[in-house]
Amino acid sequence: MRVTPAVVATERTWIEDRGEVVVPLINRVRTDLGDAFETDVERISDEQYHDAVRTVFADGDRAVNVAALAAILRDLDVEGDYPGFVVDEQLGRQLAATVAGGQPLSTLAEATFHYTDVQRHGDPDDAAGLDDLDAALAAGFQTRLPGWEWTEGESPFGIDPDRE
């Protein structure tokens, strides 16, 4: 695989276009997690998804990694699927974390990936990694996007550096 700026641009377009699968998956996961944690989580719109994709790909260092992981997952198929289970899980977790951003969001995205992966089953004719790709995009972008009450405001644990 050779990753160039043109390849990154192509992957960005593919990921944006995949919103028709990823956005409903994000909203289903947000509803389920909201129910599990007894909180309301805002649904996201197609526009929010597309804006977030553009933001992720505006950061060149992040973009090249997201593009490479997405391309690998989209093409990954292991005969019998199960032997490839570990590699597609690893790649999916990493993609979700990379999309989400730094800590603690990256850890939350990795955890959410596993739940989302259980919710997403691809077409048997698709490469085995495609459903993991969808799950990773959904987990990463749902974590990155606003809508969770705990992310709306300053953390009570921040220490003022001017305070002694």
- The CA-based diameter of the chain, rounded to the nearest angstrom, is 62
Q: What are the tens digits of pLDDT across the range 127-148?
A: 566 788 999 999 999 999 988 8
Over residues 12-27, the pLDDT tens digits come to: 999 999 999 999 999 9
Q: How far apart are CA 39 and CA 35, in angstroms?
A: 6
As given in the structure block, the two tokens for residue 19 are 């919103």
65: region left, alpha or beta (phi > 0 left; psi from -120 to 50 alpha): alpha
The Cα–Cα gap between 128 and 23 comes to: 20
pLDDT at 53 over 60: yes
- What residues contact residue 47 under an 8 Å CB cut-off, 6+ apart? none
pLDDT range class, residue 122, cuts 50, 70, 90: low
Q: How far is CA 85 from the centre of its chain?
A: 18
Q: Which sign does the torsion angle of CA 16, 136, 89, 83 carry?
A: negative
For the chain, what are the domain ranges?
5-149
Residues 103-118 pLDDT 10s = 999 999 999 999 998 8
Phi, psi of 8 (to 5 degrees): -60, -45
Residue with tokens 């405001």, as numbered in its chain? 153
Question: What pLDDT, on the 0 to 100 scale, is given for residue 121?
Answer: 67
